[in-house]
Amino acid sequence: GGWIMAILPALMPVIKSVDVTSTEALVIPVPSGYEILFLEWHDVYGDQTSVQNLLMTLVSGDNGYDNSLQTMGAVSSTSNDSNSIQLGSFGDTTGQQRYDSGQVVIFNRASQEKVVLGTEAFYRGDSEDSTANHIEGKDRDTTDPITTITITAQTGNMVSGRIILRGLRTDKAPRLGSPDIMQFIGSHEVSGTEASVTFPTIPTGYGMLMLFFHGLEGDTTGNENTKLTFNGDTDNNYDRALQQYGSASSTAYGSAYAGIAIMGDSDDRELFTSGFMTIFNRAGQEKVVIGSSNYFSQTNMAGTIHDFAASHVLCKWRNTATEINTLTLTPTADNWDAGKVWLIGVRI
């Protein structure tokens, strides 16, 4: 999932950038109006010869978080009722020689649980060996938006590194037709029962599209897929792989859609899905979709309540004749009944 952030540092507004110098806790104020936040950290290390965990808190106090940090070859494994979300781990430059870097997307809608998705990696200065992990977390608060983000070392102090917070504020984002490289195409919040979410008019010239979704759920009992289609094409022109971490990609060829997430209904399974995708949109090439998605249940009907099931996504649309001019999300059965979707265009 970390690839999506590669283009963001130059294009998303910076809320705060801090060069860490011997601190146990870093508190970052978050202004109002940011529905999506992007947190990055680079080469953070500490002052302990043993491993130090890098922790984050948002709105809730103790026991208000659910968290999973697992290697890329392992499925999500959730710690419930946690006091924080673990972002990574580090150590000092002479003992552990463990440097940690990473990036997460934080969905910040006031009335919804705050979902965190991303990746991190640490390397050892003595051996140069690297280990990468996928991160899933959430703050259970559904009352308030995030006003501060606190980053702490579980033991000891952070003594060096850089931490950057960026944000997407859709009411002030560059709009269609502006000269900006990154432009806000639009967003849609599901209201009542809707059969699909469609962005009907995507102008030409976007070499890349960025799709974000938070808290999507349907009204069918049981699990169902989140289908992504382009330009109204529902013929068998898609190849798709949606696999949980810990499993290699397994492609379904000649499908009628690109499958990007799993979710369920609000009366039975209550599976809420969130995710982010990069869509490569060159006219003369097949359109490739790469991303991550994650669902959790708010009942015990689909496993343990609050536990995460994160997946890596790889799909493509075989069309090489045109750019994408419409984008549609639909459930595999019946309708949407909650969630929000954002679409951003990048002129590259």
Each residue of 150-192: pLDDT tens digit? 999 999 999 999 999 999 877 766 666 665 678 889 999 998 8
Count of beta carbons in the 10 Å neighbourhood of residue 187: 19
Return contacts of 167-171, CB within 8 angstroms, 24+ apart: 167/12, 167/13, 167/15, 167/30, 167/31, 167/34, 167/36, 167/37, 167/38, 168/12, 168/34, 168/35, 168/36, 168/37, 168/38, 168/342, 168/344, 169/13, 169/33, 169/34, 169/35, 170/35, 170/342, 171/33
- Stated as kind and residue range, the H or E segment containing 90 is strand 85-90
Residue 262 φ/ψ, nearest 5 degrees: -115, 140
Under 8 Å between Cβ of 194 and 66: no
Query: Could you give the CA distance from residue 123 to residue 129 in angstroms, rounded to a whole number?
Result: 5
**Which 3 state secondary structure label does DSSP give 3?**
helix
Count of beta carbons in the 10 Å neighbourhood of residue 250: 9
- Stated as kind and residue range, the H or E segment containing 337 is strand 336-346
Calculate the CA 54 to chain-centre distance.
19
Each residue of 51-85: pLDDT tens digit? 999 999 999 999 999 999 999 999 999 999 999 99
Residues 16-39: what's their mean pLDDT?
92
Query: Could you give the CA distance from residue 136 to residue 307 in angstroms, rounded to a whole number?
Result: 10
Query: CB within 8 A of 300, min separation 6: which ones?
Result: none
The confidence score (pLDDT) of residue 302 equals 52
Residue that is written with structure tokens 């995460």 in the block: 308
Give me 91's structure tokens: 């150590």
The confidence score (pLDDT) of residue 267 equals 59
Residues 309-317: what's their mean pLDDT?
93
The confidence score (pLDDT) of residue 222 equals 67
